[in-house]
Amino acid sequence: NEIYLNGLNDVLPSLPADLTRLESLAGDKLSREAYDYVAGSAGTGDTARANREAFRRWRLVPQMLRGTTGCDLTTRVLGQTLATPVLLGPVGVLRQLHPEGELAVARAAEKLGVPMVLSTAASVAMEEVAEVAGPRWYQLYWPDDRELAVSFLDRAKASGYSALVVTLDTFTLAWRPHDLDNAYLPFLRGVGNQNYFSDPVFTRKAGDNPILHWTTLFGNPSLTWDDLAFLREHWDGPIALKGIQHTDDARRAVDAGMDGIVVSNHGGRQVDGAIASLDALAPITHAVGDQIDVLFDSGIRTGADVVKALALGAKAVLLGRPYAYGLALAGEAGVRHVLRCLLADLELTLRLSGQPDVTSPSLEILQNVT
Ligand code: FNR
């Protein structure tokens, strides 16, 4: 409504309402290295393309005359009530896109009550982000130093992060041809290590070359399912495992006493030639039922995408690249634009499909057209 009313005064929005158009606009604005780092994927981009194609194979079958005058977007995930089933997923190194980086993202999310998942690889320390953020979760890249891991968890807890998301699929960075061609990795230039550089355990051990020290402990390839007990000991809130694609792993997360999983392939940035994340979702929700909260990401661009993920059993979804492009294009206002568009689109699509709230979409409103 606001947009149409502004149009009466010849005021047009400065960013498009179709969020898929943001990528090329961001490409016009950003340095080649920064753009490629965000837009790029693993290998040939096969997994990233599959993520989008999978959404097109599921079609919504709207239901009529269901009195959907309004639509309740609130939901409960990991024992918490969230204002929307859309969260801002952890995207690191945002200061390479805009000088305010994660601070601008946190402010935009706070104004709309949208929860933010802050990355370990943030370019602003978690305490600074917490000062301006609303509802917030902390994403852990589990470093190869247990004392440092515990320090991250203690700091997150002390600064009000209410859930822990442990990313499993990135114990090392994948083969990413764009970044290799540009010989560009932001971390080696001191962007995206701010949670490390601001940590007392890290600084005590880093010596005079913190970036070199970072390279020795960012990755943690030897982790196994048994290590999760350590996290439980040191984090008393809910824990979700991010990067789950295999039904066996979803079951193991249940067995390990986790509270949630994020079905995700990291936006196609890790294993090329993998299944679409959406194709992993239905088998996983079927396998684990209500034993664990299932969240989803990788490829969400529209309200319809969110409805499809909810109908396939996700309780909430995480957004990745689109808000990073909003940030690149217009800072806090750009992120706000992305969120408002997505949430308005989601609400309209739910109502026009005859769904009164975010828990109602089910397989009954989907048809697979393959
Ligand atoms: C990410 N992602 C990510 N995930 C994570 O757990 N920790 C992180 O620090 C990052 N950093 C990051 C940087 C950039 C530039 C991108 C694009 C992505 C993955 C992110 O949380 C999410 O899984 C995907 O972005 C979802 O896919 P879409 O929405 O980008 O298609």
* Any ligand 1 atom below 6 A from CB of 245: no
On whether ipTM exceeds 0.90, the answer is yes
Choose the residue to mutate in 35, 196, 266, 323 for probing ligand 1, maximizing ligand atoms within 8 Å of C-beta. Answer: 266
Q: What is the CATH number of the domain that holds 285?
A: 3.20.20.70
**What is the residue type of 173?**
L
Residue spans of the chain under pLDDT 70: none
Q: Is residue 176 part of a domain?
A: yes
Q: Is residue 183 part of a domain?
A: yes
Give residue 282's pLDDT: 97
Which residue, by CA, sits nearest to atom 4 of ligand 1?
90
Give residue 199's pLDDT: 98
3-state helix, strand, coil in the chain (%, to 5): 50, 15, 40
* Any ligand 1 atom below 6 A from CB of 121: yes
Q: Is residue 321 part of a domain?
A: no
Choose the residue to mutate in 33, 51, 91, 165 for probing ligand 1, maximizing ligand atoms within 8 Å of C-beta. Answer: 91
Number of independent structural domains in the chain: 1
Q: Is residue 320 part of a domain?
A: no
Sign of CA dihedral 151, 157, 160, 162: positive
Q: Is residue 324 part of a domain?
A: no
**CA 192/CA 190 separation, integer angstroms:** 6
Q: Is residue 329 part of a domain?
A: no
Q: Is 266 marked active-site? A: yes
Task: Kindly report the average pLDDT of the chain as a whole number.
Answer: 97
**Closest residue by Cα to residue 298 from 267, 270, 275:** 267
Give residue 34's pLDDT: 98
Give residue 206's pLDDT: 97
Q: Which domain holds residue 272?
A: 2-314+336-362
Q: Is residue 99 part of a domain?
A: yes
Q: Is residue 136 part of a domain?
A: yes
Give residue 370's pLDDT: 85
Angle in degrees, 0-180, between the axes of helices 277-288 and 303-311, rounded to the nearest 10: 30
Q: E strands of 157-303, at which residues?
A: 164-167, 239-244, 260-263, 293-297
* Any ligand 1 atom below 6 A from CB of 92: yes
The alpha carbon of 192 and the centre of ligand 1 are apart by a number of angstroms equal to: 13
